[in-house]
Amino acid sequence: MPVLDENILEHTLIEPALADEALLDQIGATRLDPGSIAFWRLGQSGVLIKSRFGMIVIDPYLSESLTRKYANSARPHVRITRAPLRGADLKSVDLIIASHKHSDHFDPETTREILNASPRARLIVPEALRGYAIGLDIDDRRLIGLDAGGSFEYPGARIRAIPSAHEGLDVDDSGRHLYLGFVIEIDGIRLYHSGDTVVYDGLIANLGAARFDLLFLPINGRDRSRGVPGNMNITEAIDIARTIRPRFVVPHHYDMFTFNSANVVDFVHEAERLSAGVAAIAPRCGERTIVSRIE
């Protein structure tokens, strides 16, 4: 196993707004009224969402597994933002959602830690990855496999899977999608978390016509020199928000690894093109945001 040089982790670390016990205390103390949710960015594409019904964590990467894995490679994964928590800290999670196999979204270390710490938690994965998840020693009884068009309900929430294109609409030999995004309705709040995706023909139709409160969209773009598949860029994310007109658009997939990021300040500037009634918000990692339903 490659040796992790601690100096790599300390190179350019951004500190979360809250972390460790302070963040856990805030999450635990947050009480939501009907029609409200709170969310915290966890870094990269990770988001923790809390409602009065429970807690969902999407695409959490809360370890140093990729920094260790690529420490001696041509593409070192040098962290930009310190992890606000570790998976083992999250003891009251109801659902984990992993959008696809890449470890900065479906991190085996983080996922197993959350499942061990949260005995009632279940894991939603693309059905195409069920076998992969079982191979990680995750109990099949705790797995919920979804393909595009499938949905899952638990008290207060409904999760519907749609295709994501990273960069293509890739499927396995059985035609099941390897990359998914999720339309989630929680206590009257409607949001979309894209996972990793570019803009593709049919995305708007897949999202549906109902008004969104929140869009979580990637902004790191595409650059062949990075050696990894890309996503929509800042301009494309704002263009999607201009078309869909959510109440809020939130960027993700930035400020995690030095080789594959984007400048969130550019996102804020580009968001000046948004029309009235659509606001861009870019919370810091570990910062709480509360969104309430408009009657």
Distance CA 215, CA 218 (A): 10
Say what the pTM is: 0.94
Of the ranges 55-64, 235-244, 255-264, 266-275, which one carries the lowest mean pLDDT score?
255-264
Q: What percent of the chain has pLDDT over 70?
A: 95
Strands 214-218 and 189-193: parallel
Residue pair 36/51 in contact (Cβ under 8 Å)? The answer is: yes
The distance from CA 260 to its chain's CA centroid, rounded to whole angstroms, is 16
pLDDT at 241: 97
pLDDT at 12: 66
3-state helix, strand, coil in the chain (%, to 5): 25, 25, 50
pLDDT confidence tier of residue 146, bands split at 50, 70 and 90: very high
pLDDT at 8: 43
pLDDT confidence tier of residue 72, bands split at 50, 70 and 90: confident
pLDDT confidence tier of residue 177, bands split at 50, 70 and 90: very high
Cis, bond preceding 6 (omega within 30 deg of 0): no
Domain borders along the chain are 6-292
Written as six digits, the tokens of 186 are 């929680």
The answer, yes or no, to whether residue 138 has pLDDT greater than 60, is yes
Strands 180-186 and 157-163: antiparallel
Q: DSSP character for 45?
A: T
pLDDT at 225: 73
Q: Which CATH superfamily is domain 6-292 in?
A: Ribonuclease Z/Hydroxyacylglutathione hydrolase-like (3.60.15.10)
pLDDT at 260: 63
Average pLDDT over residues 142-147: 98
pLDDT confidence tier of residue 229, bands split at 50, 70 and 90: confident
The residue whose two tokens read 């068009």 is: 149
